[in-house]
Amino acid sequence: MALIDTLIARRQKLLLIAALGFTMWQGGLLLNKMFPTDDTAHAIALAMTLTGAFQWAAFSIGFVHFSRKAKPEIEALNDELTRSNRAKSLMYGYMALLGAISLLFGLSTVLGQTRFPALNADFIIHGLLILAVVCPILCFFWLERSNA
Amino acid sequence: MPKQQAQSQLCNRLKEIRARHNFTQAELAAKVSVTRKTINTVENNVFIPSTVLALKLARALDVRVEELFYLNGS
């Protein structure tokens, strides 16, 4: 397998680790906020947070290693199809974020305060942050895998 | 012009000309500093290359860019 193909495969693996790691790490913290007094939820949240944080650390180390290895092939790795896929991923991430905000806004407007419970701003912002980070990464992973 | 319309209008002979030169997709990709997937998506009309890439491809294959890319019906 040529170096460029190895690097592309490694980048895809890193993207997946980053998305899963961030979701588990931040999802665990979010779960803890959802059920602050539940011991079972706390144990699951702790396991998720630790596993996710470990994955995120693995991704960070892997990314530094990848960046060093990628230097000779950086032009090809960052070619115009990749740049186009990256721009599309950011657009999909923005659309997902806008969709989530619109959904929450719509629910609060339609259902009103009586049937739509007041939500903790910290919880909602945390959830939206996870969506904003993970959605573009997964979209980029999917676009890079398609049409191969 | 919408992208889909541009994709249906723009055609190319990249696969045919590449085969004439006995280049694999990977070899051509290395010559123009892109990935093999980029060549594949251009050949299959999934991705429209920039003018710069079109010119690089034409130079690598030693043909004029109009021979490589043409508008449907022309």
Strand segments (E) across chain B: 10-12, 69-71
The pLDDT tens digits for A29-81 are: 999 888 888 888 899 999 999 999 999 999 999 999 999 999 988 999 999 99
Say which CATH architecture domain B13-72 belongs to.
Orthogonal Bundle (1.10)
Number of domains chain A contains: 1
Based on the number of CB atoms within 10 Å of its own CB, is A84 exposed (0-12), middle (13-18) or buried (19 or more)?
A: middle
| Domain residue limits at A111 | 2-146
Enumerate the domain spans of chain B.
13-72
ipTM of the complex model: 0.83
The pLDDT tens digits for A109-142 are: 887 767 777 778 888 999 999 999 999 999 999 9
How many interchain CB pairs under 8 A, A with B?
A: 42
Chain B interface includes A113 (CB < 8 A): no
What's the rounded Cα separation, in Å, for the pair B19 and B12?
Answer: 13
- Indicate yes or no: pTM above 0.90: no
- Please indicate whether, in this complex, the C-beta atoms of A80 and B49 are within 8 angstroms of each other: yes
